[in-house]
Amino acid sequence: MKCVDDYRLRFGKRELVPIIVGGMGVDISSAELALEVARLGGIGHISDAMVPTVSDRRFKTKFTRDKFQQFKYNFENPDKSAVQFNLGQLAEATQLHVGRTMEAKRGDGMIFINCMEKLTMNAAKDTLRVRLAAGLDAGVDGITLSAGLHLNSFALMEDHARFRDAKLGIIVSSLRALQLFIRKNARLNRAPDFIVVEGPLAGGHLGFGLADWQQYDLATITAEIISWLRIEQLDIPVIAAGGIFTGSDASAYLASGVAAVQVATRFTVTSECGLPAKVRQEYFKAGEDDVEVNGISPTGYPMRMLKSSPAIGDGIRPNCEAYGYLLDGNGNCAYITAYNRELTIQPDPKRIKVLDKTCLCTQMHDFNCWTCGHYVYRLKDTSRLLTDGSYQTLSAEHVFRDYQFSVDGKVALPPII
């Protein structure tokens, strides 16, 4: 029986272990995690979501404080159109986060940055152009375009010196989304270097409808995309993502013709990931009924999370003067609308509940939105229950090696401590 290590992901002359740890926003897929995955020969992701706040945490910069100081006069105003990012600082924050990570890289693997289109930052095109260019300037090995169709993202990079040498790929959840992307970019004569196909069991935002995500499955979408690429004679590695929980799941996908797998949920309980230790225990303890797919993200995409996430129902005041990553360019965000509606209905403004939307910037920043893949409830089977009732935290190396070498649907438990 074959295991993942019997396969390699080929990028030109480079060969990698075909395991990619996906981007997990607002520093859950931390530099430490990405570095470990690269050291082990796979591909790790960092994320550029809320990168000024990540830089503030990592490097003691003051980007978020400066932005708040500049716009605090607007705090009471429901119209956030004046709240704009300083593009110079955005570039600096990205370069710090990416550059320092790349400097620390060891081993044969690669480090990519996950870049979400839905982070419209009140000036979608300008901020995205800066984020992409700064990542390339800072030497990132590749960029994974996610959470959006990204129809113009290649064009935003086309004049960059690294446009043709960096590995650039896209996450799609349907053949149609991929076709749109490829057609739109035909004039650039630059196909993506990889395509991540993300199915409905993934963590984070889902590229399916809230009402119909259950009708789709990763294997079918992946097979459709592989066969279309063959017909079009496009030789692009396809990477499957979402619900690949064991090494055997992964090797079955590799046997079916994908070039690599992208995984995330199993790494949320590793010591290198950015989640606080207490939150990691929530992931370990989750049962199947503790997970839901809901519509509280202001992006409009469904999101899977633990039902116990403090973000659900929390009616905090919008924090766009400091953050504002989801502002649409006209100073709007679906959470501001929901919050202001509740403000007119609920008598005590200090205890407002907002059930239909959440202030995703603040909640992700504070690790209060516990997004996870469908199989989060199996994490408890990947570790040891300790005498104090908590689960033993895993190392990224342990989880990576388990994906790489395990067979027969088995999951290796960590060494007893």
Name the DSSP letter for residue 84: -
- Please, which of residues 153-182 interact with ligand FMN by CB under 6 A? 171
Q: Which residue is nearest to ligand FMN (CB)?
A: 22
Q: In the chain, count of helices (H) and strands (E)?
A: 13, 15
- Please, which of residues 305-364 interact with ligand FMN by CB under 6 A? none
Question: 4 or 352: whose CB is closer to ligand FMN?
Answer: 4
Q: How far is CA 329 from the centre of its chain?
A: 22
Stretch that binds ligand FMN, among 16-24, 50-58, 70-78, 311-319 (CB under 6 A): 16-24
Stretch that binds ligand FMN, among 23-31, 81-89, 213-221, 322-330 (CB under 6 A): 23-31
Cβ atoms within 10 Å of 249's Cβ, excluding its own: 18
Strands in 52-188 per DSSP E: 110-116, 142-146, 167-172
Cα 322–Cα 203–Cα 147 angle in degrees, nearest 5: 60
Is 221 a binder of ligand FMN (CB under 6 A)? no
The CA distance from 387 to 136, in Å, is: 47
Instruction: Count residues binding ligand FMN (CB under 6 A).
Output: 30
Q: Pick the binder of ligand FMN from 49, 172, 218, 225 (CB under 6 A).
A: 49
Contact 83, 327 (CB under 8 A): yes
Stretch that binds ligand FMN, among 17-25, 36-44, 334-342, 389-397 (CB under 6 A): 17-25
Is 203 a binder of ligand FMN (CB under 6 A)? yes
Residue 31, CB half-sphere, CA atoms under 13 Å: how many?
Answer: 20
Q: CA–CA distance from 217 to each of 167, 174, 241, 378, 403 (Å)?
A: 27, 10, 11, 19, 21
Residue type at 108 in one-letter notation: D
Coil, helix or strand at residue 322: coil
Residue 250 tokens read as 């992964």
Coil, helix or strand at residue 404: helix
Question: 80 or 150: whose CB is closer to ligand FMN?
Answer: 150
Element (H, E) at 156: helix 153-157
Is 299 a binder of ligand FMN (CB under 6 A)? no
Is 241 a binder of ligand FMN (CB under 6 A)? yes
Q: Pick the binder of ligand FMN from 19, 32, 47, 64 (CB under 6 A).
A: 47
Question: At its nearest, how many Å lie between ligand FMN and the CB of residue 273?
Answer: 8
Question: At its nearest, how many Å lie between ligand FMN and the CB of residue 49?
Answer: 5
Is 146 a binder of ligand FMN (CB under 6 A)? yes
Is 274 a binder of ligand FMN (CB under 6 A)? no
Q: Pick the binder of ligand FMN from 55, 114, 122, 358 (CB under 6 A).
A: 114
Is 268 a binder of ligand FMN (CB under 6 A)? yes
Contact 122, 331 (CB under 8 A): yes
Question: 133 or 196: whose CB is closer to ligand FMN?
Answer: 196
Is 264 a binder of ligand FMN (CB under 6 A)? yes
Is 243 a binder of ligand FMN (CB under 6 A)? yes
Is 244 a binder of ligand FMN (CB under 6 A)? yes
Question: 71 or 265: whose CB is closer to ligand FMN?
Answer: 265
Is 291 a binder of ligand FMN (CB under 6 A)? no
Cβ atoms within 10 Å of 267's Cβ, excluding its own: 24
Is 372 a binder of ligand FMN (CB under 6 A)? yes
Who contacts 369 (Cβ-Cβ below 8 Å, separation ≥6)?
303, 305, 309, 311, 358, 360, 363
Q: Which of 22, 356, 354 is nearest to 204 (CA)?
A: 22
Contact 33, 25 (CB under 8 A): no
Question: 84 or 309: whose CB is closer to ligand FMN?
Answer: 309
The CA distance from 246 to 408, in Å, is: 9
Contact 322, 67 (CB under 8 A): yes
Stretch that binds ligand FMN, among 159-167, 216-224, 370-378, 404-412 (CB under 6 A): 370-378
Question: 22 or 324: whose CB is closer to ligand FMN?
Answer: 22
Binding site residues, ligand FMN, CB under 6 A: 22-25, 28, 47, 49, 114, 116, 146-147, 171, 198, 201-204, 241-244, 262-265, 268, 371-373, 375
